[in-house]
Amino acid sequence: MTDEPLGGDDPLEGGAGEGEPEDDDEAPRPLQPAERESVEADLDDLGAMRGVFESQGAKGVVIACSECGSNHFYDWELLKESLEHMLATGEPRMHEPAYQPREDDYVVWDYGKGYVDALADAGLEDGAIVTLTTCGWCQAAVEPHFAFCPACGRPTAVARLFRELVNRGMDEREARTLLLRAGFEPFG
């Protein structure tokens, strides 16, 4: 796997060679095996990043382009479809730049790649998040990415930790005792 998407900085810059004219009558050039492998790795990386960051509110990725010096903003689905198009045709797909994107809504590709690689190195696979649907104290509905209950304001992390301990085979009473000894507030 590469640290940067295919073609250097931008995953969509890997099709036709530099300086080659684009001719609509020309049949698409299939990707070479190494290029195909790189695009497939980019798709895997994108999926892993999306799994981690979309639930935190990220809209997609931003990639610094070494050719034009600008940042390119891609929402998750746009980049996925574009990489799939490149696999099918061998050519990058044109895309419209995001209109006045908020940079904070996008994850920098290199950062996101490093982050998901670190999660993998730590043994945390994609989708390993412990989700809650209700608060452990007041039973209010919570979204999977909430760090605090919107009704009572208590942190949801302790309820997630409790659920994970029980899922790993610890007796519920023993898990509650451990959490109380660690300083967490008791919950229902």
- Please indicate, yes or no, whether residues 134 and 123 belong to a single structural domain of this protein: no
> pLDDT band at residue 160, thresholds of 50, 70 and 90?
confident
Are 33 and 98 in the same domain? yes
Q: Which of 128, 152, 175 is the last residue of a domain?
A: 128
C-alpha R_g of the chain: 22
pLDDT digit string (tens) for 119-145? 888 877 655 677 888 998 899 999 877
Among 104, 128, 152, the domain-final residue is 128
* Mean pLDDT of the region 157-176: 90
> Minimal CA–CA distance to 109: which of 9, 29, 7?
9
Rounded to the nearest angstrom, the gap between the alpha carbon of residue 9 and the centroid of all alpha carbons in its chain is: 17
Q: What is the pTM of this model?
A: 0.59
Q: pLDDT category, 83, cuts 50, 70, 90?
A: very high
| Strand bridging mode 60-64 / 71-75 | antiparallel
Contact 61, 52 (CB under 8 A): no
Residues 33-45 pLDDT 10s:
999 999 999 999 9
Q: Looking at residue 61, what is its pLDDT?
A: 94
Enclosing domain of residue 154 = 130-188
Overall number of domains in the chain? 2
